[in-house]
C-alpha cells in the first residue's frame, strides 16, 4: 500500500500512508487510537474507498470494492468486535456463504464435522450445533478466528484478536499463527499489548496522525522507543512518565460507599464479597470465568441475585433493575462497548446524554439547549476527539468511544462508577488519558470499582485489589501488598488462609 490518503468530513484519516507485508511474515501495525490503523485496513479490504494511492496484492494492482471481494481474492479479516450472527449455530457461522453441499442440499453432517475439527486446532471443544450466543465472548472470538483461517487466505488481518482471550487461548492462537507463517501466509497483527507483538511479530509499522512514521524489524526497536514513536515524544520523556496514568498519592480514604456480601447466582457467583469507599479505586482481579463481570452486573441490577446483601452508604439496597442502581448513584461501563455500550448509528450527542435524558426533560420534552451545553462541556473536559457532536459515535476511535461512555455516566454526577475493562483494546496514549481521568475522579471523591485483565493496571491503579476465583472472593490485598506475583498466586491458588478473603468466611477452592 503506497501513498494512501482518505478524508472524511472535517477529518483527514490517512495522509500518504504506506504499508508492506511479505509472504510468510507476521507484521505488527501499531499506533494510538485515531492514528489511522483501522482506516488503513478498511481501505485495503474495500470497506472504504481510498481518495488516492495504490494497492498491490500478490504482484498485481487491486481495488477491492467490498470485504467479500477482498476475501474472495485472499484477504481475510478478524475484527476486534466479534462480527458474526449470534442466533445461527457455530458451524453455520464458520461456513456461512460456502456451506458444503450434497445433491444441492446443505451437507449438515460434513459441515458439523469440519467445524468441530477446525475448532480443535484452536483448542476449542464445543457443540458446533448450538447458537453462537450461548458461548462466552472468548469462544466467540475463537470461532471468528477459525472462520477467517478456514478461507485459506494469503493474508490474514487480525485486529486485536486476543482482547477477549485468556493466556492459554492466546498461546493456542500463536501456535496457529506460526503454522500460517510456515505455510507462507502473511499475518497483519494489530494489538495494543506490546508483549504480544514482541512474542509473535517479525516487523512493525508505526502510524501516527494518519501517516506511517516508522517501519523496521521489531527486534530493532525497544518497547519504550516503540511507545515514544507512537506518541510522538522523546524517549526520555516516556521513560520519566511511568507505566500508567495512575497516581494514588492524592487519594484519601473516606466512608464506605458500597458493601456487597456473599453474592450468589448459580455457578457464576458462589459467595463474592467486595466493598468500595468514596474516593477509592478498588481493583477486581480474576481469570476468565472467575466472576468479575457477574459481580459488576449483580451490583448494577442487571442480573438477579439468588442470595447476598448489597448496602449503599450503610443502608440495605435492592436493585431489581439498572434503573434502580442509577437512581442510587451508580454508573456502569460494560466490557463490550459495541453490544452493551455505544448506540453505533446515533450521534456523539445522543450517546453521551442517553442516561441523562430524564434530567434534561420538562413535561417529556428534552431541552436541546441544555443537552448541547452538557455535551460541549464533557467533550471538552474529557478531550473527546470528534468532528462535532453530531458525528456518529461508531466513527470515533475506540479510546474516544470509551470517553463518550464515561461522559454518559459522569454527567449524572454518580457516587460509584463500575468500570469493566475500561482500557481494553485502546492505545497507549488514550489508555493513559483514561487512567488519569479515573485517578482524578477518585481524587474528587468518586468511588470506582475497576475490573481489569492487565495486572499492572491493578497494581498501579488500585487502593485495594479483590481477587475472585470460581465466583468467590479468595483474597483482598491492600495497595502495598498487591504485587503482580501476589495477585497471580491468589488467582491460581486462592488465599493461603481463610482470613485473607474479605470477611474470612470462605473455604479454600
Q: How many whole angstroms separate alpha carbon 91 and alpha carbon 93?
A: 5
Over residues 140-149, the pLDDT tens digits come to: 877 888 888 7
Share of the chain above pLDDT 70, in %: 90
| Contacts of residue 369, Cβ cutoff 8 Å, sequence gap at least 6 | none
* pLDDT tens profile 303-333: 999 999 999 989 999 899 999 999 999 999 9
Range from 79-83, 179-183, 299-303 carrying the lowest mean pLDDT: 79-83
Q: Taking residues 168-187, what's their average pLDDT?
A: 86
pTM, two decimals, is: 0.61
Residue 331's pLDDT is 93
In which residue ranges of the chain is CATH 3.40.50.300 found? 2-240, 248-329+414-504
What lies within 8 Å, CB to CB, of 484 at 6+ separation is 455, 456, 459
Note the pLDDT of residue 502. Answer: 40
Quick one: pLDDT band at residue 229, thresholds 50, 70, 90?
A: confident
Residue 15 per-residue DSSP state: E
Q: At what angle do helices 398-410 and 368-382 cross, to 10 degrees?
A: 130
Give residue-wise pLDDT tens across range 458-503. 988 899 999 998 889 999 999 889 888 888 888 876 654 334 334 4
Q: Which CATH architecture has domain 248-329+414-504?
A: 3-Layer(aba) Sandwich (3.40)
CATH code of the domain made up of 2-240: 3.40.50.300
Three cell numbers, residue 109: 453432517
- CA dist 87 and 427 (Å) reads 32
Checking if the pLDDT of 296 tops 90, the result is: yes
Alpha helices in 97-156 (DSSP H): 108-120, 137-149
Is the model more confident about 242 or about 396?
396
State the Rg of the chain over Cα: 24
Give the model confidence (pLDDT) of 8-49 as tens digits: 876 788 999 999 999 999 999 998 767 888 899 999 999 999
pLDDT at 500: 39
Q: Quick one: three-class SS letters along 439-504?
A: HHHHHCCCEEEEECCCHHHHHHHCCEEEEEECCEEEEEEEHHHCCHHHHHHHHHHCCCCHHHCHHH
The DSSP secondary structure of 246-300, one letter per residue, reads: --GGG-----EEEEEEEEEETTTEEEEEEEEETT-EEEEE--TTSSHHHHHHHHT
In this prediction, residues 77-93 reach a mean pLDDT of 83
DSSP class of 355: T
Amino acid at each position: 500500500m503506497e501513498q494512501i490518503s482518505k478524508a472524511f468530513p472535517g477529518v483527514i484519516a490517512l495522509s500518504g500512508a504506506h504499508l508492506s507485508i511479505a509472504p510468510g511474515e507476521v507484521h505488527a501495525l501499531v499506533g494510538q487510537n485515531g492514528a489511522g490503523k483501522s482506516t488503513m485496513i478498511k481501505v485495503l479490504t474495500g470497506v472504504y474507498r481510498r481518495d488516492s494511492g495504490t494497492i498491490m496484492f500478490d504482484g498485481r494492482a487491486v481495488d477491492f470494492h467490498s470485504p467479500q471481494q477482498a476475501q474472495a481474492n485472499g484477504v481475510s479479516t478478524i475484527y476486534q468486535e466479534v462480527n458474526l450472527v449470534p442466533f445461527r449455530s457455530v458451524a453455520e457461522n464458520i461456513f456461512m456463504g460456502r456451506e458444503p453441499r450434497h445433491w444441492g442440499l446443505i451437507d449438515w453432517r460434513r459441515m458439523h464435522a469440519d467445524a468441530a475439527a477446525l475448532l480443535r486446532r484452536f483448542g476449542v471443544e464445543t457443540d458446533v450445533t448450538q447458537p453462537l450466543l450461548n458461548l462466552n465472548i472468548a469462544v466467540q472470538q475463537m470461532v471468528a478466528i477459525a472462520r477467517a483461517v478456514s478461507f485459506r487466505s494469503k493474508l490474514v488481518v487480525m485486529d486485536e484478536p486476543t482482547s477477549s482471550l485468556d493466556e492459554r487461548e492466546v498461546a493456542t492462537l500463536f501456535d496457529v499463527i506460526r503454522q500460517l507463517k510456515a505455510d507462507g501466509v502473511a499475518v497483519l497483527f494489530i494489538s495494543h499489548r506490546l508483549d504480544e507483538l514482541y512474542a509473535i511479530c517479525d516487523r512493525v509499522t508505526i502510524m501516527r496522525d494518519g501517516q506511517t512514521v516508522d517501519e523496521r524489524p521489531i527486534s530493532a526497536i525497544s518497547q519504550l522507543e516503540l511507545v515514544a514513536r507512537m506518541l510522538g515524544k522523546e524517549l526520555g520523556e516516556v521513560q520519566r512518565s511511568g507505566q500508567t496514568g495512575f497516581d494514588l498519592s492524592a487519594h484519601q480514604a473516606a466512608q464506605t460507599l458500597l458493601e456487597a456480601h456473599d453474592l450468589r447466582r448459580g455457578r457464576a457467583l458462589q459467595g463474592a464479597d467486595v466493598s468500595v469507599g468514596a474516593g477509592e479505586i478498588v481493583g477486581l482481579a480474576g481469570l476468565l470465568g472467575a466472576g468479575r463481570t457477574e459481580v459488576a452486573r449483580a451490583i448494577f441490577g442487571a442480573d438477579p441475585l439468588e442470595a447476598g446483601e448489597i448496602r449503599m452508604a450503610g443502608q440495605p439496597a435492592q436493585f431489581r433493575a439498572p434503573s434502580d442502581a442509577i437512581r442510587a448513584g451508580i454508573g456502569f461501563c460494560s466490557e463490550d462497548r459495541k453490544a452493551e455500550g455505544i448506540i453505533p448509528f446515533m450521534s456523539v450527542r445522543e450517546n453521551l446524554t442517553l442516561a441523562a435524558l430524564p434530567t434534561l426533560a420538562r413535561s417529556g420534552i428534552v431541552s436541546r439547549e441544555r443537552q448541547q451545553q452538557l455535551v460541549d462541556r464533557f467533550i471538552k473536559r474529557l478531550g473527546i476527539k470528534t468532528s462535532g457532536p453530531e458525528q456518529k459515535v461508531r466513527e470515533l476511535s475506540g479510546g474516544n468511544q470509551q470517553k463518550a461512555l464515561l461522559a454518559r455516566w459522569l454527567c449524572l454526577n454518580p457516587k460509584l462508577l463500575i468500570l469493566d475493562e475500561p482500557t481494553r483494546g485502546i492505545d497507549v496514549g488514550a489508555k493513559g488519558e483514561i487512567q488519569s481521568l479515573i485517578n482524578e475522579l477518585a481524587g474528587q471523591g468518586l468511588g470506582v470499582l475497576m475490573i481489569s485483565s492487565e495486572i499492572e493496571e491493578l497494581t498501579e491503579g488500585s487502593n485495594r485489589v479483590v481477587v475472585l476465583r470460581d465466583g468467590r472472593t479468595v483474597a483482598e490485598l491492600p495497595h502495598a501488598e498487591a504485587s503482580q506475583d501476589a495477585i497471580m498466586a491468589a488467582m491460581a491458588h486462592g488465599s493461603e488462609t481463610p482470613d485473607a478473603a474479605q470477611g474470612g468466611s470462605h473455604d479454600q477452592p
